[in-house]
């Protein structure tokens, strides 16, 4: 049994969905589960809608209308008028209609998940209807009845035992009858509310299903030929890896490579399931295979850039040393605000942490830190990580930039740059 995951870029328009249909057709003889993200930039647009609703901005209805009309334009390119999918999509959006009529609830993360999840509910309904329309047998599955999470909205923590039990019981009979299409990124709580698993979390969804079903492999279909040593949008002369080890892939995602979601690899590694990263434009090309026991040769360093970084410097108010006691208090504050640290450095009097700028969480974090510490910060920075570098390979990346923090080990160098 195979698991395919199609990201937003691969289903951003009618051509993308037609292409998905052609790829899936070639594999429809075997058992196949298809995990799909929201179409194109829909998640960003739904995020904007959530903010407009919570802030009661004037443009809320416009933002919402744009999202709907974008989807209906795509529908009208794929289906004859009167096809039941038009009503189905209309009815799915009604959830948002109801929500935004009322006063916003005070839990932003909860509202976010109820609104943003509509992107995947809609995309999977469209794709499932399209696969049936081209003569395949496909069933739409509501992932929220299978992937069970706690109620940490926007970062749902998966209850693996309950999830695997449901998947093992529910999926095999469905997969025997035909294709199954389901939503990436979403989960459900025990009270039947919708959660999301963190941005770009659809890869993780695919890996959860694969691991519970002991799939042969997972394939994620992307707009790149496989995993490259650097982002081709930022660097010229990239090279593709034919194979990578699970370890290297985990390290790359840890440092911020966005090609796969960081939580994806562990379940696959544990179950020994290979992950294939392939191009949806060249479906027959081999892409990259991530599996056990690969020893790749790194001709060029792996380069990972994370933008929108903030470097926070924390020191004591009374000029005393930063001790373990202070550090544990500082980490507790970061954990409370669900802020992950990207690089850390301590000196006698200060502690520096580089984090992603998250405007929803930053102010609360600063306020809590300032209660006990002096805090300064520098934003708009980039964090550059080079793995398997040679000393000579660092220089060109720093040229013309201000280096605010550097951390070097034998294999990896991290640079915070302005």
Q: Which residues bind Mg ion (CB under 5 A)?
A: 8, 37
Alpha helix (H) residue ranges in 340-417: 359-372, 395-398
Closer residue to Mg ion in complex, CB, 8/16: 8
Closer residue to Mg ion in complex, CB, 37/124: 37
Residue 49 CA to residue 115 CA, distance in Å, equals 8
Residues 89-128: x where in contact with ligand ASP by CB under 6 A, - otherwise, as a string: ------------------------------x---------
40 binding ligand ASP? (CB under 6 A): no
# of chain residues touching ligand ASP (CB under 6 A): 12
Cβ-based neighbours of 123, under 8 Å, separated by 6 or more: 11, 36, 37, 38, 39, 42, 183
Closest CA to 184 of 12, 46, 5, 33: 5
Closest CA to 7 of 29, 33, 36: 36
Closer residue to ligand ASP in complex, CB, 117/138: 117
**Eight-class DSSP state of 348:** S
Residue 131 CA to residue 4 CA, distance in Å, equals 14
Q: How far is the CB of 196 from Mg ion (least distance, A)?
A: 11
Strands 32-36 and 179-183, bridge-based pairing = parallel
Residue 337 CA to residue 225 CA, distance in Å, equals 37
Determine the residue with CB nearest ligand ASP: 202
Task: Tell which positions 254-283 bind ligand ASP, by CB under 6 A.
Answer: none
Select the span of 83-91, 129-137, 193-201, 378-386 touching ligand ASP (CB under 6 A). Answer: 193-201
Given Mg ion, ligand ASP, none, residue 201, with its beta carbon under 5 to 8 Å by kind, binds ligand ASP
Closer residue to Mg ion in complex, CB, 37/189: 37
Given ligand ASP, Mg ion, none, residue 185, with its beta carbon under 5 to 8 Å by kind, binds ligand ASP
- The single residue among 187, 201, 262, 274 that binds ligand ASP, judged by CB under 6 A, is 201
Residue 34 CA to residue 128 CA, distance in Å, equals 10
Interacting residues with ligand ASP (CB under 6 A): 7-8, 37-38, 43, 119, 184-185, 199-202
């Amino acid at each position: 049994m195979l698991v395919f995951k199609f990201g937003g870029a691969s289903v951003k328009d009618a051509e993308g969905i037609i292409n998905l249909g052609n790829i899936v057709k070639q594999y429809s003889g075997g058992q196949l589960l298809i995990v799909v993200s929201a179409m194109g930039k829909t998640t960003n647009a739904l995020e904007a809608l959530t903010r407009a609703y919570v802030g009661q901005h004037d443009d809320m209805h416009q933002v919402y209308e744009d999202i709907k009309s974008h989807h209906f334009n795509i529908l009208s390119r794929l289906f004859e008028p009167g096809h039941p999918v038009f009503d189905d999509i209309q009815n799915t959006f009604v959830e948002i209609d109801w929500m935004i009529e009322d006063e916003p609830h005070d839990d932003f993360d909860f509202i976010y998940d109820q609104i943003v999840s509509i992107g995947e509910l809609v995309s999977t309904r469209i794709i499932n209807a399209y696969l049936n329309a081209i003569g395949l047998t496909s069933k739409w599955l509501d992932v929220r009845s299978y992937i069970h999470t706690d109620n940490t909205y926007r970062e749902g923590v998966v209850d693996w035992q309950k999830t695997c039990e449901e998947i093992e019981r529910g999926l095999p009979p469905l997969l025997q009858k035909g294709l199954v299409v389901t939503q990436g990124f979403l989960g459900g709580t025990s009270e039947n509310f919708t959660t999301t698993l963190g941005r770009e979390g659809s890869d993780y969804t695919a890996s959860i299903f694969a691991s519970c079903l002991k799939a042969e492999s997972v394939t994620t279909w992307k707009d790149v030929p496989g995993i490259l040593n650097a982002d081709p949008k930022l660097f010229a002369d990239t090279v593709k890896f034919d194979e990578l080890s699970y370890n290297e892939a985990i390290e790359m995602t840890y440092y911020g490579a966005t090609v796969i979601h960081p939580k994806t690899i562990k379940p696959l590694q544990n179950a020994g399931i290979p992950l294939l990263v392939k191009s949806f434009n060249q479906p027959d090309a081999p892409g990259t295979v991530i599996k056990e026991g690969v020893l790749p040769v790194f001709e060029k360093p792996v380069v990972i850039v994370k933008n929108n970084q903030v470097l926070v410097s924390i020191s004591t108010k009374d000029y005393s040393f930063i001790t373990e006691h202070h550090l544990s208090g500082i980490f507790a504050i970061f954990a409370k605000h669900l802020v992950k640290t990207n690089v850390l450095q301590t000196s006698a009097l200060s502690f520096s942490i580089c984090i992603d700028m998250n405007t929803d969480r930053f102010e609360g974090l600063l306020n809590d830190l300032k209660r006990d510490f002096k805090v300064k910060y520098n934003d708009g920075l980039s964090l550059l990580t080079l793995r398997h570098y040679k000393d000579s390979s660092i220089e060109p990346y720093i040229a013309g930039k201000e280096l605010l923090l550097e951390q070097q080990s034998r294999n990896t160098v991290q640079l915070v740059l302005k």
